[in-house]
Chain A
């Protein structure tokens, strides 16, 4: 148990690697893993044997929970959300869960409203509308 306490995020003792890490949305992970899977398919006939269970399960999981399938759409979502001053994790939550209303968005990511970053309701609503437009035309 003492080993786990070292990594307790609540106590801020997370590995240094994570402080500089980039958060990935499920749709981005899906593209990465599918690409890797295709590469393996080209190199051998039976890629399923070569990948670990972790890889398989993660691929299934992100495929199921990605909101955007098209690579262009995924890129557009990342670009769109990067324009608003969001922290990495906020961006990923919004990209993963795709809230439809401002109330939902604030419930999912309460910190977008706080800290006086000028994210008023109108700005949030515009952001959500743009996200759903990308989904519509993907």
Chain B
């Protein structure tokens, strides 16, 4: 079945693999959750057609409605809006956009709308940012952070990954010791 083939390719084929999984080595990952979606991606979506894609960082424009208390109105209104935006949004993660890593610029601040009853004003702000958004079926590089007999942990940017030993090919065995690792039977 395609699912197993994809996982197998991860550890078998060159150049997209590493045979030994040590802490701090880098491993190329196929980002599958429960479905492979690899063969289906190609005909369906020209943008995401290639499944072998390390294309997780995007530069996109997002919009957010920022509420500001009247005490901030004055000369620094725009600066205060921008710094509140950065505090609110940078470092967050949503299912839709992934992780917002950094805001790179403000495109537009719309007209403020006073909210009835409270005096707060809502400004629609359009901003550009770098997001980390992996898609199903993508392949990306990760750094192994910990190895134990349950499997290993790896990090790809802000994303934490756990590969359980059930998903590790049978010919890789766990070796405990000073530097725990998984090694293939031919010792590579």
Pairwise interchain contact B99-A58, C-beta atoms closer than 8 A: yes
Q: Which residue of A lies closest to B128 (CB)?
A: A22
A-contacting 9-mer, from B65-73, B87-95, B108-116, B171-179: B87-95
The residue from B52, B62, B135 contacting A9, defined by CB atoms under 8 A apart: B135
**Measured CA separation A52–B90 after assembly (Å):** 7
- For chain A residues 107-128, which have a beta carbon within 8 Å of chain B? 107-111
Chain A residue at smallest Cβ distance from B93: A54
Main secondary structure of the interface of B (DSSP, over half): loop
| Docked-complex contact B102 and A10, CB < 8 angstroms | no
CA distance A8 to B54 in the complex (A): 17
Q: Identify the closest chain B residue to A22 (Cβ).
A: B59
Q: Which of B113-149 contact A (CB under 8 A)?
A: 130, 132-133, 135-137, 141, 143
Complex alpha-carbon distance, A7 and B135, angstroms:
9
- Cβ-defined contact, A58 with B157, below 8 A: yes
Whether the Cβ atoms of B60 and A17 lie closer than 8 Å is yes
What is the size, in residues, of chain B's interface with A at 8 Å between Cβ atoms? 50
Q: With a CB–CB cut-off of 8 A, which chain B residues contact A20?
A: 60-61
A54 engages B90 (CB within 8 Å): yes
B35 within 8 A of A: yes
- On whether A55 and B50 interact (CB within 8 A), knowing A9-B135, A24-B130, A33-B101, the answer reads no
A19→B97 contact, CB < 8 A: no
Q: Is the CB of A58 within 8 A of B52?
A: no
**Chain A residues proximal to chain B, CB less than 8 Å:** 3-4, 6-12, 14-15, 17-26, 28-29, 32-33, 36, 51-55, 57-58, 61-62, 64-65, 87-90, 92-93, 96-97, 99, 104, 107-111
Interface residues of B (CB under 8 A from A): 13, 15-16, 26, 35, 37, 40-42, 44-50, 52-55, 57-62, 90-93, 95-97, 99-102, 104, 130, 132-133, 135-137, 141, 143, 155-158
